[in-house]
Structure 1
């Protein structure tokens, strides 16, 4: 982590390095610098929710459309629009409340109170009241209440994983005085949101509130925003164009009918019919419906979608920035390799190790030892010498009854080897083993023991004469299935990059083990002066970014987005929150993830399995393709419907569609658009996608095919009306012929786009054809609908229209698939 240096004026004058503040000094600091409000309170009032909700343009469109239908007397359609608003209203309210929950999640890793030295005595005060210059005491297991310098304490180890991603404990040492601030390094700092694992620390507060590292993360989250997704923009543009054309067409048609001398009633009926046929209310309804389907389908893949529009983006991901700790790896130390000295077996080495460890220390390394060996009684432990940076080892002395005493020590291998009686060649052998394991990203610890006489002093730590017991290597293991998932991502054209706060050697070893960079990953280490955008521009084939800070991780996301990538970010800690918020898709770990990461991310992986990302991307791609197919169907069916409703009246002929016919057609179109396409399976393995952010909903080629097929269907409908009118000389027969062609075209388009691969599509096609036969061929029903039964020759033409529409729509489907993966 990088700490900014405050000016000397920010800290009040102190008598000694361990002096506390006076009440007057506290008041002066608070007046100048404010309270220690690291996470500001978010408003959750209903007024705030309503204010944010009314900003959603899709809700205004649905309300306007419902009002228009109401004015036209189509109350069923108006009610449909109002009901479609409910899930959107609920989603907006939920997102607002989730922001409040996110703030609570961020606050859960902060100390709520602190022991501060004020006016010469220790006082327990709310952490919010701390000011720069305060001296606080933090004991093992507690979180630091603000950022500051460590001025007193021994054997200090800190869990900084939520800020840096570093899974191993970080050793800290003290500075003598605040005057040493200019020379302080990160080993001298304690940060808000990190937890003290061992020892008792005195912390001189330097930064509070939004100036802390944790506060910077919170501020980044609060200031971040998500613009409308490309699909939302495309739908809004499509709906706006179609709505404008529909309204203009209604006015023009009414004026022409009046000019033709058909009267006000005919003109109004023509305009109303065209309006009902042309107003594109299905598009936002189908979009909302498909988002709900996507949420359900991804949940079955162990991906919980918390922001429904993420269903769109997840299938278009081209770049994954993955946290290492807890995402690619298990996020816990595991004893992985035993290297006992001659004369000892694995059990004997582990027994020496547990005698040197402390069962209640909170040190993950000690916990891993006892997990491997089991619990032991500490009744024979008579003295201990905790770990310090200067000694780089810790020692425990045990009573062996009549056998006297025994000292057991553990620590850095070179330190342990130095106090053991070993030949130089053997010492070199052990050091070579340490280096080999270190290059593989493992943490290696040395162990030794020494027998002592019963009367030996217990106040001095033994320094020499130890017997070397061996080495134990610990690692944060890679999660099962990650290597295969990474390979699938690379085959699909997705760029996988591991971003971690770990040491480059550790990151390189993990990256190599999961196959990044083809087993030869390119690793970079960012410094505080590096601009991530410049680094990426100069080195596109990056596989690992080590020593990354939260700010740099966020900048990496922005840099890749600027290059046109759709970026997914995985993570589980507070350090991942800004990047999760900025990314096109934030994927939080559900089992190990912090509450703040889960609340901010639009998608939560319930099983913490990197493999789930690949499954979710494949599911998202297929769902996005299915939504496009549904929209193709709507366009191909609505185009001839609108043209038929407008062209025939413009010719001065009797109306083709009456309001009752429009209702019949909508009863076919609505369920087909929502049910026939949403459950289509994937047609093959995960394939590469186009690397572009601002993708159009349909390519120019697909648009031409839609216009061509829709235009041919329109010509067929108008021609069939004119043909039947000229043959039978009755409007009822002509209407029946045109409606039959439109309905079989709808069934043919559905068959071609879905390939009838699901039962829902088959039943909908069958239902469409059955309603057609019953509505036209049954004399009583056809009379009610102002139609006449068709002849055998008519049905031959209708059958031809079915197969023609099916074949042409299959071509459109194949071109649409090519747009997604080409």
Structure 2
């Protein structure tokens, strides 16, 4: 894990041996606040009531109940009032579901902490922790805040809530002392929201509350759904037009019923019933739920959504402009290869080079050498001559096993001169250098020589060295990145690597991950002015090397001008323009600056390209789920509204009574919300080339929707007409007709669900539960009498099944159209 900085103001004045003093607490509380990652929330009941007040169905039930009380029909009025209970329950469930991700995150926090203050251990509420506190954690504890490990005993931590990795992580303490370090390796940090699996430790708290990694996740999750997205705006326009059309149709129906002589009450009930049947309140509700589910699922994929528009757009991405360092690669210099000289093994070369490194290495190359070889057992450093740009070498005088040596590492040409190698002698080394450079690796050489007895330690030897070998360094690819890039390419997504590195290095990395089929087109922008750049040249490149921030912005604009939906990754302030311009700006959660995170729509918690690919796959599945959910709503509402209007307009008895609309709404709400929630299983799929603006439904799907809705409407009206003349029920043919039409519509609903979902995931259970409940409400006399329907005979049920089956066949073209994209 990357080295993370330690802000000095958070630990200065704190003694890791005694903890904070009482005199410091009040000032630190004013400066840093409480250790809270969540703000105060309204009472759950009040939140549900507030949310439900905007549900027009509840107002319809109340108004119709009052009307029936006024007319003296107490039973109908009571039934309508009781119907409010399950609707309130669904509103409560929806409210709870939209808050689930945030509360799930907040639940992984400690409630108490064992803290050292004034040299005494005490138990306090975790919210009272402050930067500089020293706390103790034992197995089973949730870590209360972000801190450094001061001391540990076999400490193992479960970090799956932050990294997604399920295996335990070993931790190590920082160097002893009272001075806070400038930074610490990820293995020396523990974070709020993680859990101690084994061992125990003493922690020096650095970040609390919203400043912890976990606190930032909670904060960003809460702000993610505030912006209205383009799809939400489109749905609002759709609902507005449907409402206008429904109002006109309701007025027409009321007038026609009055002209037909059915009376004012009948006209009013007919109009209100049609209005509620036509009311498309499910569309914004389902959209809100799906966006909330998208935010939650992407967070599980380590992609934190800050703006809900990202949930819509992430699945449409057709081009990715990705940083190299830390996203495609590990972001850390590693010693990848050693070429030894005569009489040496490859492992000996790193040992020689390590003798020239300082004991406290701050240079990334020195850290890589020491990590590979260690500091050199038994070697005593006598003198050193540091690296400078002029000298291009670092030399150390050491004593090992009673022998004094001069060891040098630096640029190969510089070391060659110190070794006195001629052109012929150096030729084999030059060949190795060229081969390593072609792989994009940074190469240095190292050499050594014995010191003469009495050599003055202030004098650096400048000749007589023997070449020990070459060391090649690079930033290795992250595990699984090549496979992730290939998945993108196979799905028709362009991947462009943008880096400030040398073109040779960038091209080598791009070839390893398979860009350009292993022969990437590399465009170097070194020294080129923005006005000199050709947009076609930018858009055609696989690799942009030596890129400046403004040039990264030009690349994004060039791809967008060619019809791409562009995702761009960035981590610094200089990436903000590109992040804001891109369709999806993606910031790095570990090494990204605050400016980059604020400008981005998504934050990758693990800085990994694979996470981005997983997020795109999940986004495409979410968009598919939403398409199918909306198609189901349209297929259900069209026959409901058309039959509710056409039957009474023809002068026939009302097809639907208010209680039936309530019944149908109780059916459609949960099935639309629960049915289309499939997870991404098959990964990325290739989308058809987009022509013009992205449409929620392609034209072919709209025609298929009209076909399915038309056949369903005909089936429901046909069932009603057949019921009016059904043999054996002459006493109340209207009740038979109404029941047969309702059963047909409910079976059509089940067929719609089955056809559109392909019975994936939980759908068989949803369909089975909805169908059984509907049949029971009709066939059980005690229930059917309350719902003003009557049990049907076998032949009538068989007719409803046949009509629903024919409707299902008419929906097949829609399923194929949605599957084709």
Kindly indicate whether residue 747 of structure 2 is the aligned counterpart of residue 748 of structure 1. Answer: no
1:555 to partner: Cα distance: 3.0
Kindly indicate whether residue 735 of structure 2 is the aligned counterpart of residue 732 of structure 1. Answer: yes
Q: Which residue of 2 aligns with 1:291?
A: 291
Kindly indicate whether residue 353 of structure 2 is the aligned counterpart of residue 353 of structure 1. Answer: yes
Residues of 2 paired with 1:741 and 1:88: CA distance? 32
- Do the aligned partners of residues 60 and 248 (structure 1) sit closer, same or farther apart at CA in structure 2, a change above 3 Å counting? farther
Secondary structure at the aligned position of 2:327 is classed as: helix
- Do the aligned partners of residues 79 and 517 (structure 1) sit closer, same or farther apart at CA in structure 2, a change above 3 Å counting? same
Q: Contact 1:626 / 1:680 at 8 angstroms: preserved in 2?
A: no
Residues of 1 paired with 2:611 and 2:399: CA distance? 52
Q: Which residue of 2 aligns with 1:316?
A: 316
Secondary structure at the aligned position of 1:490 is classed as: helix
Q: Which residue of 2 aligns with 1:495?
A: 494
- Do the aligned partners of residues 784 and 535 (structure 1) sit closer, same or farther apart at CA in structure 2, a change above 3 Å counting? same
Residues of 1 paired with 2:565 and 2:316: CA distance? 7
Residues of 2 paired with 1:481 and 1:418: CA distance? 42
Single out whichever of 261-270 and 742-751 deviates more from structure 2: 261-270
1:685 to partner: Cα distance: 6.3
- Do the aligned partners of residues 783 and 252 (structure 1) sit closer, same or farther apart at CA in structure 2, a change above 3 Å counting? same
1:709 to partner: Cα distance: 1.2
Residues of 2 paired with 1:528 and 1:250: CA distance? 69
1:302 to partner: Cα distance: 4.3
Q: Which residue of 2 aligns with 1:559?
A: 558
Single out whichever of 615-624 and 504-513 deviates more from structure 2: 615-624
Kindly indicate whether residue 720 of structure 2 is the aligned counterpart of residue 717 of structure 1. Answer: no
1:612 to partner: Cα distance: 3.4
Residues of 2 paired with 1:797 and 1:534: CA distance? 70
Residues of 1 paired with 2:342 and 2:299: CA distance? 54
Residues of 1 paired with 2:645 and 2:698: CA distance? 28
Residues of 2 paired with 1:344 and 1:271: CA distance? 94
1:768 to partner: Cα distance: 3.0
- Do the aligned partners of residues 518 and 430 (structure 1) sit closer, same or farther apart at CA in structure 2, a change above 3 Å counting? same
Higher RCO (CA 8 Å, separation ≥ 6 residues): 1
Extract unaligned runs of 5+ from structure 1. Answer: 1-48, 51-58, 95-193, 196-224
Q: Contact 2:715 / 2:807 at 8 angstroms: preserved in 1?
A: no
Q: Which residue of 2 aligns with 1:246?
A: 246
Residues of 2 paired with 1:762 and 1:88: CA distance? 22
Q: Contact 1:590 / 1:604 at 8 angstroms: preserved in 2?
A: yes
Residues of 2 paired with 1:511 and 1:587: CA distance? 20
- Do the aligned partners of residues 354 and 439 (structure 1) sit closer, same or farther apart at CA in structure 2, a change above 3 Å counting? same
Q: Contact 2:387 / 2:393 at 8 angstroms: preserved in 1?
A: yes
Single out whichever of 722-731 and 485-494 deviates more from structure 2: 722-731
TM normalised by structure 2 equals 0.71
Q: Which residue of 2 aligns with 1:260?
A: 260
Kindly indicate whether residue 380 of structure 2 is the aligned counterpart of residue 380 of structure 1. Answer: yes
1:87 to partner: Cα distance: 8.2
- Do the aligned partners of residues 66 and 712 (structure 1) sit closer, same or farther apart at CA in structure 2, a change above 3 Å counting? closer
Q: Which residue of 2 aligns with 1:235?
A: 235
- Do the aligned partners of residues 268 and 488 (structure 1) sit closer, same or farther apart at CA in structure 2, a change above 3 Å counting? same
- Do the aligned partners of residues 345 and 530 (structure 1) sit closer, same or farther apart at CA in structure 2, a change above 3 Å counting? same
Secondary structure at the aligned position of 2:280 is classed as: coil
Residues of 2 paired with 1:346 and 1:92: CA distance? 51
Superposed CA deviations along residues 302-353 of structure 1, whole A, max 9, x for unmatched, are 4444444422222211111111001111111111111121122234322220
**Pairs within 5 Å for 1:763-802:** 763-802=765-804
Residues of 2 paired with 1:92 and 1:256: CA distance? 50
Q: Contact 1:413 / 1:431 at 8 angstroms: preserved in 2?
A: no
Secondary structure at the aligned position of 1:408 is classed as: strand
1:244 to partner: Cα distance: 2.2
Residues of 1 paired with 2:58 and 2:559: CA distance? 44
Q: Contact 2:523 / 2:538 at 8 angstroms: preserved in 1?
A: no
Single out whichever of 769-778 and 561-570 deviates more from structure 2: 769-778
Equivalent residue in structure 2 for 1:804, among 806, 809, 820: 806
Q: Contact 1:320 / 1:567 at 8 angstroms: preserved in 2?
A: yes
1:795 to partner: Cα distance: 1.9
1:588 to partner: Cα distance: 4.0
Q: Contact 2:586 / 2:603 at 8 angstroms: preserved in 1?
A: yes
Q: Contact 1:508 / 1:523 at 8 angstroms: preserved in 2?
A: yes
Q: Which residue of 1 aligns with 2:198?
A: none
Single out whichever of 519-528 and 281-290 deviates more from structure 2: 519-528
**Pairs within 5 Å for 1:98-247:** 229-247=229-247
Single out whichever of 84-93 and 576-585 deviates more from structure 2: 84-93
Q: Contact 1:492 / 1:689 at 8 angstroms: preserved in 2?
A: no
Secondary structure at the aligned position of 1:616 is classed as: helix
- Do the aligned partners of residues 583 and 683 (structure 1) sit closer, same or farther apart at CA in structure 2, a change above 3 Å counting? same
Superposed CA deviations along residues 88-138 of structure 1, whole A, max 9, x for unmatched, are 9979999xxxxxxxxxxxxxxxxxxxxxxxxxxxxxxxxxxxxxxxxxxxx
Q: Which residue of 2 aligns with 1:41?
A: none
Residues of 1 paired with 2:384 and 2:670: CA distance? 75
1:84 to partner: Cα distance: 9.2
Residues of 1 paired with 2:583 and 2:766: CA distance? 36
Q: Which residue of 2 aligns with 1:816?
A: 818
Secondary structure at the aligned position of 1:478 is classed as: coil
Q: Which residue of 2 aligns with 1:15?
A: none
Residues of 1 paired with 2:767 and 2:517: CA distance? 48
Aligned length: 640
1:398 to partner: Cα distance: 2.3
- Do the aligned partners of residues 264 and 529 (structure 1) sit closer, same or farther apart at CA in structure 2, a change above 3 Å counting? farther
Q: Contact 1:230 / 1:695 at 8 angstroms: preserved in 2?
A: no
Q: Contact 1:565 / 1:693 at 8 angstroms: preserved in 2?
A: no
Q: Which residue of 1 aligns with 2:27?
A: none
**Pairs within 5 Å for 1:602-613:** 602-613=601-612
Q: Contact 1:747 / 1:769 at 8 angstroms: preserved in 2?
A: yes
Secondary structure at the aligned position of 1:419 is classed as: helix
- Do the aligned partners of residues 501 and 738 (structure 1) sit closer, same or farther apart at CA in structure 2, a change above 3 Å counting? same
Residues of 2 paired with 1:251 and 1:61: CA distance? 27
Q: Contact 2:304 / 2:605 at 8 angstroms: preserved in 1?
A: yes
- Do the aligned partners of residues 746 and 539 (structure 1) sit closer, same or farther apart at CA in structure 2, a change above 3 Å counting? same
1:71 to partner: Cα distance: 7.8
**Pairs within 5 Å for 1:5-20:** none
Q: Which residue of 1 aligns with 2:390?
A: 390
**Pairs within 5 Å for 1:54-73:** 63=54, 65=56, 69=60, 72=63
Residues of 1 paired with 2:800 and 2:532: CA distance? 60
Superposed CA deviations along residues 53-91 of structure 1, whole A, max 9, x for unmatched, are xxxxxx999948589658846866996898699689979
Secondary structure at the aligned position of 1:328 is classed as: coil
Q: Contact 1:441 / 1:507 at 8 angstroms: preserved in 2?
A: yes
- Do the aligned partners of residues 67 and 746 (structure 1) sit closer, same or farther apart at CA in structure 2, a change above 3 Å counting? closer
Residues of 1 paired with 2:53 and 2:545: CA distance? 48
Secondary structure at the aligned position of 1:457 is classed as: coil
Residues of 1 paired with 2:576 and 2:283: CA distance? 34
Q: Which residue of 1 aligns with 2:156?
A: none
1:666 to partner: Cα distance: 0.9
Q: Contact 1:62 / 1:85 at 8 angstroms: preserved in 2?
A: no
Q: Contact 2:618 / 2:679 at 8 angstroms: preserved in 1?
A: no
Secondary structure at the aligned position of 2:316 is classed as: coil
- Do the aligned partners of residues 556 and 305 (structure 1) sit closer, same or farther apart at CA in structure 2, a change above 3 Å counting? same
Q: Which residue of 2 aligns with 1:332?
A: 332
Extract unaligned runs of 5+ from structure 2. Answer: 1-39, 42-49, 65-80, 104-181, 184-224
1:376 to partner: Cα distance: 4.2
Q: Which residue of 2 aligns with 1:274?
A: 274
Q: Which residue of 1 aligns with 2:702?
A: 703
1:626 to partner: Cα distance: 1.5
Q: Contact 1:384 / 1:396 at 8 angstroms: preserved in 2?
A: yes
Q: Contact 1:234 / 1:697 at 8 angstroms: preserved in 2?
A: no
1:396 to partner: Cα distance: 1.6
Q: Which residue of 2 aligns with 1:208?
A: none
Q: Contact 1:717 / 1:742 at 8 angstroms: preserved in 2?
A: yes
Q: CA RMSD in A?
A: 3.8
Residues of 2 paired with 1:91 and 1:692: CA distance? 38
Secondary structure at the aligned position of 2:326 is classed as: helix
1:245 to partner: Cα distance: 1.7
Q: Contact 1:69 / 1:78 at 8 angstroms: preserved in 2?
A: no
Secondary structure at the aligned position of 1:367 is classed as: helix
Single out whichever of 317-326 and 796-805 deviates more from structure 2: 796-805
